[in-house]
Structure 1
């Protein structure tokens, strides 16, 4: 965890409202003092700041001394305010515009030896100038370099990034450093832009996702940043949500408040330990300046307005800061998960003769599965197949799976033998290339005989799939019916026709065909779902909460996964943190647009975080959050 005076990083990306990216030409120390003061008064302790490259390096061998003096004053203003900043060196992209130093020409930013050398010199010189200032909390090499420098090859980008990090160290910088690329690499998105999160994490000190998503489902929107943090957090580095935010042009004041609240608390529960909002202020007076002239919605991303007044977003940051202090976040960790969500290696590796959509399909499927785990109050660890599927968990989820490698299927079968519950839902995949289940031993592993025809799928023709339980399954009693909307296209809106051999049928569809089957094996079980429930939901707008969470809830119950606090209503998600002094904290996060009152099921006792009063019933405001203290059963 990265700390400022014992507190986690919490702040805003900063451009003064007098100039935006051109602020260093119009530098106003008194205005900077006022702008920082309002952020500090609302719990922020950090900014991310920017060396606008065309201005700071007007010639290949010269850095502008006047601007360096202004930046030094900027650092002093931070010290005065009790704040720190993270300088960003190579700022050639910002808010819908790319700017080059006048001398760059058409040289490749990553591969041209002369240009890479000049970048390294620039980074080293700036680091040497400011390395000793108490206000410097860390360093960022770039701002969204995949947009500015464009994608490149993985080897080229990693070599460039390593040289830039070495330049920071050569300049005497000992503070944490990262790339500033947005964590948009293949390990998160399934798209290879050359900026491998895995490779870059190995040479940097933290991972910094930038998340601005256009979605069609409110719950997915509120949980996508959390899911991205989970994906980015598997490389043994702290995760700082380096950019997130909303523009007033796209969201009302009330919903902006909801969005900030949801993003902050959900990413905390997903393992993020730092947050830097985009951005500190609105830019109404810069309407005739690039990039705001042609991207006018970019003028209204601030947590303060163009007169410096706090907006609802900043009030949410203030309230979040108070929660972080009350639970003493630096002393907290996430409780170890007893369930795992398997991330196929096909997300981050282009195997021979596979399709790009084999990877991008996985992001949507895995995210929807993650949403269902949250609705089931089921903490999960993301298990990357490439790093080996962690043994010893009680439950393994493999949602809407077309592809795992053959050794991974063997591992899962062995884990079931050893006592785990392994759940796999079928999918023929997201395209028509080798469409079908790439399983090592479908019939043997699941105790069925499949009835697939080569090159064809068995389409789901009903708009709604009935999952009717013919025997009890954890808390789901015999006779229970779940109704699942069917989404997808000609390739993946399809079921797996099977006949049980060793497996027992747990649930059937409206046509009497098996939907859920269970095969006992050794000390555990494998559960096969013949319909791609997670994919069908991922393909639909405004679908959440959807019934897959009830199956996950039953799986957790059957597997014996410990869940100290659960809520029957899937619109309220329970999560938690544990403190090293033995305290435990519970978050209740509502995904309802209306006020909700719930009675959590608790293994122990809940008390108010402030006064210690017992809590049996909780009323949550629309999209509200409540944090409570949990005393577990003795």
Structure 2
């Protein structure tokens, strides 16, 4: 039976990172018993190398015996283990790697192989092992000199592990996500890891946009062709209330399920009472990420995890699949590939925020959206969204014209970077001609526009945008002087929509989203004739689902901090969370329909 991987990143409650040097099997047994009561099935555990390896990279015999007992105890409690091999960084400290005294990492491949071989050969036959996690956030120990150095290191170690054990999965143990270093983008590690492993600790004053980031990352990683396990997520209750901490965890778990993730691992199992131990001595927030308190009692989040696990334990996930997305956000190649003299590459983090904003607007408009890359077949999508981008590959524009002529709708929002042109097909694709004065930066983005009958306040912006005159395009948005700023052109069987207002970029930099911006995405959905499986919901509420042969598994996800009513146009076969038409603040409702 296929089930969601559900669990924790694990250090023992009392001995914490000192687990191997202060090994207490009874403490571990008590923790495992509590985990079993919570209904979890997986942990990500860590070998602290300075306690378990010698200077040649050999696994110490006493540590080998401890790991063996640890895995035996996990098996007794039906807990699978993703075992992390190289811990150079953990919780705010870079720890000693005995065979790599200067922590240069990427030039110590042979010594690292020795340790890996010892560990993998010793425990690959353990029934408790689910897979091998190569590192814990090794990029915090040392950023590689360049991307190729990292790829060579990862590929060689991945292949080496697979040569010893091809029966278990292998991940890098670092943040594979659109918000990561370029060398950790999923497009770049596909083929040298078995699953994408996002580690997500993101902050946003807008509560709706904030939790959408988590699902955007899962969708982005999954769209690359990699399975996804949300390997780390959580918050410290020394900073956030236990109630909000619990609600957040419950929401993310339900979203991870219906967005097609293979699993989710909370950081972490428990709080730690030993305040003077490193690194907690200078990182007090690291003491309170757990769902179990320092004294062993359960936080509200523990009850949320137990409730969730009990409700999904009998769901056969192999009976469901992620349904085909009919829309996609186009990801430019420069976001994960390097090109000469492309200044946008220096702002990839900012652009990841733009991608998330486009994703958020699309989902709030009930558009089932994923991500597509320029080298993919783009004809599979009824709607292609190109948000606040200053350039794609030149060859992509001709490809987009063909897609539109064959019946798709594309939406492109843009702004200027001095003399650089986003495309050479303004007239051919969008039905407009440039109206900029030679040598100018363009025109200031207006503070207010009118889209059909909707007034959208933009506010003040330091950005410049293009000025166009319509050739055969229809003006659907104007500024206060009635100048066209949003255009639509019919091309073949489809439509191309051009916005000179980069709403996604502007909104991504605003503290709180402007809900009126969603009106443009609602318009896109109508133009593209997007199918709506469920009715529109109140702002901040989305419905996501997995398709089955006999029914669908859906989640009503409330991204706000207010209780919301929801509306369905289908018969509910099973109200799993017993919500009865109301989804509580920052939570989700599972049901079969």
> Are residue 121 (structure 1) and residue 114 (structure 2) matched?
yes
1:38 to 2, 27, 34: 34
> Are residue 591 (structure 1) and residue 559 (structure 2) matched?
yes
Output the TM-score relative to the length of structure 2.
0.94
Equivalent residue, structure 2, for 1:472? none
Structure 2 distance, partners of 1:157, 1:444, is 42
Alpha-carbon distance, 1:66 to partner: 1.4
Equivalent residue, structure 1, for 2:372? 383
> Are residue 504 (structure 1) and residue 469 (structure 2) matched?
no
Alpha-carbon distance, 1:218 to partner: 1.3
> Are residue 466 (structure 1) and residue 449 (structure 2) matched?
yes
Equivalent residue, structure 1, for 2:65? 69
Give secondary structure in 2 for the equivalent of 1:35.
helix
Equivalent residue, structure 1, for 2:151? 158
1:374 to 360, 363, 388: 363
CA contact (8 A) 1:131 1:173 kept: no
> Are residue 457 (structure 1) and residue 420 (structure 2) matched?
no
Equivalent residue, structure 2, for 1:56? 52
1:141 to 134, 139, 142: 134
CA contact (8 A) 1:347 1:360 kept: no
Q: Aligned-residue CA RMSD in angstroms?
A: 2.2
Compared with structure 1, are the counterparts of its residues 216 and 436 closer, same or farther at alpha carbon in structure 2 (3 Å cutoff)? farther
How is 1:174-189 mapped onto 2 (pairs within 5 angstroms)? 174-183=167-176, 188-189=178-179
Q: Which moved more, 1:94-103 or 1:339-348?
A: 94-103
How is 1:516-531 mapped onto 2 (pairs within 5 angstroms)? 516-531=486-501
Equivalent residue, structure 2, for 1:483? 456
CA contact (8 A) 2:258 2:554 kept: no
Alpha-carbon distance, 1:519 to partner: 0.9
> Are residue 260 (structure 1) and residue 249 (structure 2) matched?
yes
Give secondary structure in 2 for the equivalent of 1:25.
coil
Structure 1 distance, partners of 2:370, 2:304, is 28
Query: What is the CA deviation profile of residues 611-632 of structure 1, one whole-angstrom value per residue up to 9, with x for unaligned ones?
Result: 899x9x72121123122333xx
Structure 1 distance, partners of 2:105, 2:423, is 43
Structure 2 distance, partners of 1:208, 1:530, is 36
What is the total number of aligned residue pairs between the two structures? 591
Equivalent residue, structure 2, for 1:448? 432
Structure 1 distance, partners of 2:419, 2:76, is 62
Give secondary structure in 1 for the equivalent of 2:130.
coil
> Are residue 625 (structure 1) and residue 588 (structure 2) matched?
yes
Alpha-carbon distance, 1:267 to partner: 3.2
Structure 2 distance, partners of 1:565, 1:436, is 42
Give secondary structure in 2 for the equivalent of 1:180.
coil
> Are residue 212 (structure 1) and residue 201 (structure 2) matched?
yes
How is 1:97-496 mapped onto 2 (pairs within 5 angstroms)? 97-102=93-98, 104-106=100-102, 108-111=104-107, 115-172=108-165, 174-183=167-176, 188-189=178-179, 191-192=181-182, 194-283=183-272, 285-325=273-313, 327-355=315-343, 356-385=345-374, 387-428=375-416, 434=418, 436-453=420-437, 454-462=439-447, 465-469=448-452, 480-486=453-459, 488=461, 490=462, 492=463, 494-496=464-466
1:28 to 1, 20, 24: 24
Give secondary structure in 2 for the equivalent of 1:189.
coil
Structure 2 distance, partners of 1:43, 1:190, is 31
Structure 2 distance, partners of 1:55, 1:618, is 53
Alpha-carbon distance, 1:575 to partner: 1.4
Structure 1 distance, partners of 2:363, 2:395, is 29
Structure 2 distance, partners of 1:341, 1:250, is 35
Give secondary structure in 1 for the equivalent of 2:457.
strand
Alpha-carbon distance, 1:198 to partner: 2.9
Structure 2 distance, partners of 1:390, 1:225, is 25
> Are residue 606 (structure 1) and residue 571 (structure 2) matched?
yes
2:527 to 558, 569, 574: 558
CA contact (8 A) 1:427 1:531 kept: yes
Query: What is the CA deviation profile of residues 311-350 of structure 1, one whole-angstrom value per residue up to 9, with x for unaligned ones?
Result: 2222222333344335432321111011111111121122
Q: Which moved more, 1:213-222 or 1:203-212?
A: 213-222
Give secondary structure in 1 for the equivalent of 2:63.
helix
Query: What is the CA deviation profile of residues 573-601 of structure 1, one whole-angstrom value per residue up to 9, with x for unaligned ones?
Result: 1211102x33113321112322222334x
Structure 1 distance, partners of 2:352, 2:577, is 41
CA contact (8 A) 1:124 1:170 kept: no
Query: What is the CA deviation profile of residues 125-177 of structure 1, one whole-angstrom value per residue up to 9, with x for unaligned ones?
Result: 11111111100011111110111232332222222122222332343452111
Give secondary structure in 2 for the equivalent of 1:391.
helix
Alpha-carbon distance, 1:287 to partner: 0.8
Structure 2 distance, partners of 1:71, 1:483, is 60
Structure 1 distance, partners of 2:192, 2:502, is 38
CA contact (8 A) 2:436 2:466 kept: yes
Structure 2 distance, partners of 1:122, 1:455, is 60
Equivalent residue, structure 2, for 1:474? none
> Are residue 85 (structure 1) and residue 68 (structure 2) matched?
no
Structure 1 distance, partners of 2:99, 2:320, is 49
CA contact (8 A) 2:238 2:285 kept: yes
Structure 1 distance, partners of 2:34, 2:329, is 41
Give secondary structure in 2 for the equivalent of 1:554.
helix
Structure 2 distance, partners of 1:599, 1:512, is 39
Give secondary structure in 2 for the equivalent of 1:565.
coil
Alpha-carbon distance, 1:560 to partner: 1.8
Structure 2 distance, partners of 1:559, 1:68, is 60
Structure 2 distance, partners of 1:570, 1:399, is 21
CA contact (8 A) 1:190 1:362 kept: no
Compared with structure 1, are the counterparts of its residues 34 and 382 closer, same or farther at alpha carbon in structure 2 (3 Å cutoff)? same
CA contact (8 A) 1:487 1:539 kept: no
CA contact (8 A) 1:110 1:116 kept: yes
Alpha-carbon distance, 1:6 to partner: 3.1
Alpha-carbon distance, 1:610 to partner: 4.0
Alpha-carbon distance, 1:257 to partner: 1.5
